Structure 1
Amino acid sequence: MTDPSRTGSNSARPQSSPQARDATPAGGFAVVELFTSQGCNSCPPAEELLTEIEREARQEGQPVYALGFHVDYWDDLGWPDPFADAAYTARQQAYARAFGSGGLYTPQMIVNGTVEFVGSDRRRAATAIAAALTEAATTPIALSVTEAAGGDGQRVVVDYRIERPPGQTVLNVAVVERGLENDVPRGENAGRTLRQDNVVRAFTSAGQAAPSGRVELTVPPNLDPEQASVVGYLQHHANRAIVGATAVEVAPG
């Protein structure tokens, strides 16, 4: 669906055992970003596809990292998406500038920061992911969750290590949650119950990537750590190409 502005649980608990996983397998990786909204009736099929991509990657042990960014420009058309954030709209706008398109639409899927298409297009998604997995990854990344505390100061603290980070790159770190479900009483999806996976619940960019460091993300108090992962990916600032990625579970084991 085109941009409407142009067309008319459980609380997280403390975790103790840090865990890490190196990225950059011999073949490659695929970071799959979906820009979506619960206010758009074209988006549920794309969100179902993102779920399938994430589930298949887990089953087959593939380095495919799915992220659902819920934008906010649908929110005034009947249903405010509970997962929407203006920062995610700004991220999509940055992609539009990089692609030279100048416009926004949902659902939009972007693979490794450089290939974009309608987010419900299974053939394009399969082709783009397969191509990304055959490309040699260039920058290994390791992540470890050192703290996931509950209470009013809800946060996830992540240590990272990057091998030879190239210049003009930023480290993006997201907390994504699986198994989210809610009823939508108004808007284009009125009367539907939507189930979504790998919804971005917190996101930050660490600026010019250093070889190592720590990132702290504020997450919702109802985040379920058993259903949450941290995705880290290194991205060129200018052309948006992603050159390294990995993920780690919030809860150990």
Structure 2
Amino acid sequence: MSFLRRLFRRKKPAPLVCSITLDDNGNPVGDDPNHQHTGACFVDFEPLALVELFQSQGCVSCPPAVPSIIKAATERPNRLLLTYNVTLFDHLGWKDTLASNGPGDQRQRAYVKRWGRNTLFTPQVVVNGLADASGAKGAGEVHETVDRARSGIQLPWHVYLDANDTELRIDSDAPGQHSHGHSHSHTTTETESTDGVPTTAAAAAPSTPVYDILVATYRSSDQNIKIGKGPNKGKKLPHHNAVIDITKAGQWQGGDLTVPLPVPKSAMHHGTEAVAFLQEGPGGPIIAAAKI
């Protein structure tokens, strides 16, 4: 991936295999300015899966379940676990210390609304905005949820998201809003399969749907918070990659696009990291993600 990073920092098309030649020093030369992206341009690799964990310090089910969820979500490559604390159980005598000003409540409710449900629960594991589970059954349930999410999205085009210190870059053969030619554009629609998992499928539409370009900042160090009151008094709850904030950096609707980061990576506070991702509206499917 270091070679692809060098290509991006030189603002060359990111991971292309059909239009780049190298000189004796390994530098790209001779790019075709009239090149049109096709499916053959994109390297086939397993993309980063975004695993979102919604938990509460006042939830009696969280202390026993969360450690195994964290282990399962982090023990395999190409996964990133983000933790959101929610206020769902603050009325039981202990206000969650990380939930009051966090984005957890809003994101969890957006998923519930999108999926047509009327209940909230913790712990809840959501993968790529497509598949969810409680995670209480252990590692196998988390792995199975990731697999369902990976197979639940079917796009008629490719998209690749990458970042340097100051910019996010999206490379795609998806037809842009002002695309010309004979390409067929599609949108994604959600249906619920027999096992209750929202599935994204391709359907004919006039243009590529609009995706929000989001940047989530999170604490890179783990926290193990001792709970002082309520049903979990005296217990400790681990927090892995606790999300601090989510910022909308723009919107994408096909084609190639470069947008500035809300905050340059070099200016982020010590102990803070970030990930960018493309999501089809609140509670929608996440089709690409990249650590910054």
The two structures share one fold, judged by TM-score above 0.5: yes
Contact 1:79 1:186 in 2 (8 A): yes
Distance in structure 1 (CA, Å) of the matches to 2:216 and 2:70: 17
How many residues align structurally?
Answer: 209
- Matching residue's letter, 1:185: G
Is 1:64 the equivalent of 2:79? Answer: yes
Q: CA deviation at 1:86?
A: 5.6
Partner of 1:245: 289
Distance in structure 1 (CA, Å) of the matches to 2:91 and 2:282: 32
Residue 249 of structure 2: which of 164, 184, 206 is its match? 206
Is 1:195 the equivalent of 2:224? Answer: no
Contact 2:123 2:135 in 1 (8 A): yes
- Matching residue's letter, 2:143: A
Q: CA deviation at 1:110?
A: 0.9
Moved more, 169-178 or 64-73: 169-178
TM-score, with length taken from structure 1: 0.70
TM-score, with length taken from structure 2: 0.62
Contact 1:33 1:110 in 2 (8 A): yes
Partner of 1:129: 146
> Unaligned 5+ residue runs, structure 2?
1-7, 16-42, 175-207, 264-268
Instruction: After superposition, give the CA deviation of every residue in 1:7-64 in whole Å (9 maximum; x if it has no partner).
Output: xxxxxxxxxxxx9898x8613332111111111111123421342134313xxxx211
Alignment of 1:129-148 (within 5 A): 129-132=146-149, 138-146=158-166
Is 1:169 the equivalent of 2:211? Answer: yes
SS at match of 1:81: coil
Distance in structure 1 (CA, Å) of the matches to 2:244 and 2:144: 28
Is 1:94 the equivalent of 2:140? Answer: no
Moved more, 196-205 or 24-33: 24-33
Distance in structure 1 (CA, Å) of the matches to 2:224 and 2:73: 17
> Whose strand proportion is higher, 1 or 2?
1
Structure with larger Rg: 2
Instruction: After superposition, give the CA deviation of every residue in 1:85-109 in whole Å (9 maximum; x if it has no partner).
Output: 4632111111011111122111111
> Identity over the aligned pairs, expressed in percent?
28
> Unaligned 5+ residue runs, structure 1?
1-18, 147-158, 218-222, 249-253
Distance in structure 1 (CA, Å) of the matches to 2:236 and 2:94: 13
Contact 1:167 1:208 in 2 (8 A): no
SS at match of 1:90: helix
Partner of 2:226: 183
Shift in alpha-carbon separation, 1:96–1:188, aligned structure 2, 3 A: same
- Matching residue's letter, 1:92: Q
Contact 1:27 1:136 in 2 (8 A): no
Identify the structure with bigger relative contact order (alpha carbons < 8 Å, sequence gap 6+). 1
- Matching residue's letter, 1:161: R
Q: CA deviation at 1:66?
A: 0.8
SS at match of 1:101: coil
- Matching residue's letter, 2:80: Y
Partner of 1:156: none
Distance in structure 2 (CA, Å) of the matches to 1:230 and 1:43: 25
Moved more, 79-88 or 129-138: 129-138
Contact 2:131 2:146 in 1 (8 A): no
Contact 2:55 2:85 in 1 (8 A): yes
